[in-house]
Structure 1
Amino acid sequence: MQNYDEIIKKELYNTKYGRLFVGDSVELSKSYLCRYYKNKFNLIITSPPFPLNNKKRYGNLQGNEYYEWFIKLAPIFSSLLTDDGSLVIEIGNAWEQGRPVQSLLHLECLLGLVKNQHADLRLIQEFVCYNPSRLPSPAQWVTINRIRTVDSYTHVWWIAKSDFPKADNTKVLRPYSKKMLRLIDKKKFNAGKRPSEHKISQKAFAKNNGGSIAHNLFELETLDPSREVRLPHNVLSFSNSISNDYYLKRCRSDNISPHPARMHSGLVNFFIEFLTRENDLVLDPFAGSNTTGYCAEKLKRKWISIEADSGYAHNSIIRFEEPSFDSKLKVSTHLGGDSVRKQT
């Protein structure tokens, strides 16, 4: 087991609220986090490497090797979470090698994670993140043979150690529709029993609660152009490819390759505000460009992020150099500072 001094040498930078380490997340979790942060994290939110057929630079295992690696995360995550803490994992679909058949691997991983006998975890709710700006994939079957449709969504699994993890959906309300605002204003609607046997009271739509309850489908772009996207205020209604993001602008201007599998900042904001409070502790063990740390910092949550690729870790410093963002960034000189940022 690595000692404390060796671990600290892996810290690339720290801010007012958080720290980013460069290294293997499983190794660092076992040797450092499980020792000093056992049962301390209120939220673990991450997008681990997907089980893709083609190897990516950011690293990804395949098949049974991926499954075995994934389910071994269960006891680690369980030991790090508070009793009312949550684990949120975003993961995409996988396809069988050389076949137009969707793999069951991601579902097997979910079942293996929550059924791991060394971790007391359960699936609280599944969310779907729809993003029509994703490139057509799998390309062989979508754009070449044209026998499949575009894979345009990812799964987001909300998992916890308790049936009742800390959560408050009033913190992530959607804006009311124009129709609903009219109902609230007029206080006149068709009350009574519906064909579904639900009973609508006379006061059901009379009170303005500040917004409607969020759905478990995130439209990063509208499904129907004729209506307005009503995402919670803290979920930004644009896709990850939009060019007005400071991180992407800096990557272009500095000739840096951005991380190819960034988590959507609006998605991270949603779960941080839904499942935590100010000064709670958030972990992202597969940080990538450190969207989680950036969002947690803005929302005044304490955070720890881990990224195995030193280049992507160094590039994530850009997020905390945003002019309007007073992050009190301190970069460790012993890990090379700006000198190892990866160029295109």
Structure 2
Amino acid sequence: MSERRVRPRLRPSAEERADAGAAETARPGTIYPGDCVEVMRTWPDASFDACITDPPYNMSRRKGLKWAFSSHVTMDEQWDRFSNDDYFEFTRRWLLEVCRVVRANGNILVFGSFHNIYVIGFVLEHVLGRRVLQQITWFKPNAQPNITGRLPTESTEYIIWACNNTPEHAGKWTFDYARSKEIGGGKQLRNLWQIPCTPRSERRLGSHPSQKPVQLLERIVRLWTKPEDVILDCFLGTGTTAAAATQLGRRWVGIERDAGYIEIARKRLGAGA
């Protein structure tokens, strides 16, 4: 039986895009409130040099998950709960817009766990026809124990790195190889990174359930973007990507739909955190 391939569709349909005449350029240093797909549709093509983002993982449960040895409940966020079909369509829609607003051959780096990383990779490679270059594995030495007491402790998350072009035309992507060797102690940097989970000091103004450590985002920003590049984070959360970009002399634009997280991000960025 022949294998069925999904034909890449590199641009949104007419129904999925706002009128191109209404497009306006995104303003660096701005947090845009609202649904990321709707916001991105108002921007012109090739508005950004890169996208670094951390979407919902679809790991929450309707009643949450309880710890085996306490009454604590976790993984019950409404914004992180989809049916499988809805999550696939959600992923297709926002990545379709990301591929449009990031310039050709710009970097796209997306966080995920085993819950969603395979869907993200499939959409990028087989639905949108992007060239997936590598996967970074983030090992958390102080990861939260498994809450059910029935599985090994989940100690890793992943970052998919894609070049925003077809495999045939992808090239000249940004990667600071010299700096990566410095980080690797003079040797080629491996794609397994050991970095602790977000410290309390970075949560002092408020936190997000999947907030990433600044150390991790600074490494990504440093290696995959250049000074003065404009970076999009379409799931800004509490602003870690923006904080890392600011620290390293890059420009950023964020989108976040939750007013509470927007307020935390604004406080963090105002405090230089």
Does residue 125 (structure 1) correspond to residue 134 (structure 2)? The answer is yes
Q: Deviation per CA, 1:231-253: give whole Å up to 9, x if none.
A: xxxxxxx421x2233xx2334xx
Tell me by how many angstroms 1:115 deviates: 1.1
* 1:153 alignment counterpart: 156
Contact 2:106 2:164 in 1 (8 A): yes
Does residue 264 (structure 1) correspond to residue 213 (structure 2)? The answer is yes
- Between the two proteins, the alignment pairs up a number of residues equal to 237
- Flag the 1:109–1:249 CA change in 2: closer, same or farther, 3 A: closer
Q: Deviation per CA, 1:63-108: give whole Å up to 9, x if none.
A: 12111211223321111111220100010122xxxxxxxxxx5313
- Flag the 1:68–1:278 CA change in 2: closer, same or farther, 3 A: same
For residues 176 and 41 of structure 1, the distance between their equivalents in structure 2, rounded to whole angstroms, comes to 29
Does residue 249 (structure 1) correspond to residue 204 (structure 2)? The answer is yes
- Flag the 1:108–1:261 CA change in 2: closer, same or farther, 3 A: closer
Q: Secondary structure of 1:250's partner? A: coil
1:99-118 matches, within 5 Å, as: 106-116=117-127
Tell me by how many angstroms 1:212 deviates: 2.5
- Flag the 1:81–1:120 CA change in 2: closer, same or farther, 3 A: farther
* 2:11 alignment counterpart: none
Tell me by how many angstroms 1:154 deviates: 0.7
Contact 2:52 2:232 in 1 (8 A): yes
Moved more, 278-287 or 160-169: 160-169
- Flag the 1:176–1:265 CA change in 2: closer, same or farther, 3 A: closer
- Flag the 1:176–1:282 CA change in 2: closer, same or farther, 3 A: closer
Report the residue type matching 1:26 in the other structure: V
Contact 2:60 2:78 in 1 (8 A): no
* 1:166 alignment counterpart: 174
Does residue 77 (structure 1) correspond to residue 98 (structure 2)? The answer is yes
Tell me by how many angstroms 1:174 deviates: 4.0
> Larger C-alpha radius of gyration, 1 or 2?
1
Identity of aligned residues (%): 19
* 1:231 alignment counterpart: none
* 1:29 alignment counterpart: 40
Q: Deviation per CA, 1:160-186: give whole Å up to 9, x if none.
A: 124321222112334566xxxxxxxxx
Which sections of structure 2, spanning at least 5 residues, go unmatched?
Answer: 1-17, 62-75
Tell me by how many angstroms 1:263 deviates: 2.1
Report the residue type matching 1:47 in the other structure: D
Which sections of structure 1, spanning at least 5 residues, go unmatched?
Answer: 95-104, 178-210, 221-237, 252-257, 328-344
TM-score with structure 2 length normalisation?
A: 0.77
Report the residue type matching 2:144 in the other structure: L
Tell me by how many angstroms 1:4 deviates: 11
Tell me by how many angstroms 1:134 deviates: 2.4
1:210-221 matches, within 5 Å, as: 211-220=186-195
Q: Secondary structure of 1:150's partner? A: coil
Q: Secondary structure of 1:244's partner? A: helix
The alignment's C-alpha RMSD in Å is: 2.8
